Amino acid sequence: MRVVLCVFVTGLLTSVLAAEEHVVETETHRFEEVADGVYFVSGTGAMVTRSNAMVVITDEDVLVVDSHITPAAGRALIEGVGRITDKPIRTLVNSHFHYDHSHGNQAFGPGVRVVGHEYTRHKMAKAPLEEHTFVGSSERDRQALEELRAALETVSDEEREALETQISIQAAHVESTAEIDPVAPDTTLAKKMTFFRGGREIELHFLGRAHTGGDVVVYLPAERLVFTGDMMLGGPPWPGDGWVNEWPATLERLKQLDFDLILPGHGPYFRDRELIDYVQAFHRELWEVVSALHAEGVSAEDAVERIDLSHHAENLPAARVRVDLRGVQRMYMVLEGTAE
């Protein structure tokens, strides 16, 4: 493994982080080398990035998976890649169409091939700025900024500086949201695509519908790792655009791949494959319960009050074994044949 010296732009934590080999930290990003030349990328909190990314450096060039939530976050990611290699980024993969993984696409520029599932292309070429996920999140982000600004009126002197930092982070995020000009994948796959580049084999798999209709996982067989996007997280992912009925079978196909390490679209990476079994069990029961309520004619609003899957918190993070109204509404759409 290549040892990468720690670069931390503010310099405050240099002594702490220098002990951590294989980690490069910029002001905005943490790049952890999880296999030779393969980096798991997460945000430091100094800007709103919202989702994780992966960087794969080959002998010739660089492949990036997911571009974050805004052009500004995408630019900061690209800048960070420049700290770990001088090779050019030539390929960007979108794990799925969701705004928090793909609205940084435009930062990569026309020279970079953008790859995604056919469905991702379809969703992003249509009206991505009208997607309920993007609209809802943008609204919440604007509201959060107003609330933070209002809090300035009452904050104590000790807390003021931290609040001002938070406000500037949130304001920059809202500002960059306004410059989003979505870029859809220019190259698509239906089932599988493999890059043989610069001594590496990088496989893209569509294993079936799950978190969306076009989730792609990025599998590196030699490195025995997989980037799963939001199809598989450290607990059940949000089902509001998902196919909960098909999700367990899709995860079954994920388990056929030979890997030890899972890099998810949100949260820390993990090695515990049993989590996949637990998420499958959660989805099976969720689908059963929601289908029964739907058959009884219970409204989605009432259904969400009646669903209790808290016993899954034995094996999964408690915060993730809930389902929100949009999740139930989506499952009702799937049951009624109106989901896309």
Residues engaged in binding Zn ion (CB under 5 A): 98, 230
Q: How far is the CB of 99 from Zn ion (least distance, A)?
A: 9
User: With respect to Zn ion, which residue has the nearer C-beta, 71 or 213?
Assistant: 213
Per-residue three-class SS string for 77-91: HHHHHHHHCCCCEEE
Q: How far is the CB of 39 from Zn ion (least distance, A)?
A: 21
Where does residue 312 rank: exposed (0-12), middle (13-18), buried (19+ CB within 10 A)? buried
CB 208 within 8 A of CB 249: yes
User: With respect to Zn ion, which residue has the nearer C-beta, 80 or 240?
Assistant: 240
- Give φ, ψ of 211 to 5 degrees: -65, -30
Residues in CB range of 242: below 8 A, 6 or more apart? 209, 210, 211, 212, 327, 330
Distances (CA, A) of 284 to 107, 256, 302, 316: 39, 19, 20, 14
CB 248 within 8 A of CB 283: yes
| Token reading at 135 | 């609209």
Could you give the 3-state DSSP secondary structure of residue 43? strand
User: With respect to Zn ion, which residue has the nearer C-beta, 24 or 231?
Assistant: 231
CA count, 13 A, side-chain hemisphere, 117: 25
User: With respect to Zn ion, which residue has the nearer C-beta, 37 or 237?
Assistant: 237
Rounded CA-CA distance 97/102 in Å is: 6
User: With respect to Zn ion, which residue has the nearer C-beta, 14 or 133?
Assistant: 133
User: With respect to Zn ion, which residue has the nearer C-beta, 94 or 245?
Assistant: 94
Q: How far is the CB of 230 from Zn ion (least distance, A)?
A: 4
Q: How far is the CB of 241 from Zn ion (least distance, A)?
A: 7
User: With respect to Zn ion, which residue has the nearer C-beta, 7 or 207?
Assistant: 207
Q: How far is the CB of 137 from Zn ion (least distance, A)?
A: 11
> In DSSP terms, which residues pair with 261 in a beta bridge?
225
Distances (CA, A) of 171 to 6, 141, 168: 29, 9, 5
CB 128 within 8 A of CB 205: no
User: With respect to Zn ion, which residue has the nearer C-beta, 32 or 230?
Assistant: 230
CB 225 within 8 A of CB 153: no
Q: How far is the CB of 20 from Zn ion (least distance, A)?
A: 29
Q: How far is the CB of 98 from Zn ion (least distance, A)?
A: 3
Q: How far is the CB of 229 from Zn ion (least distance, A)?
A: 7
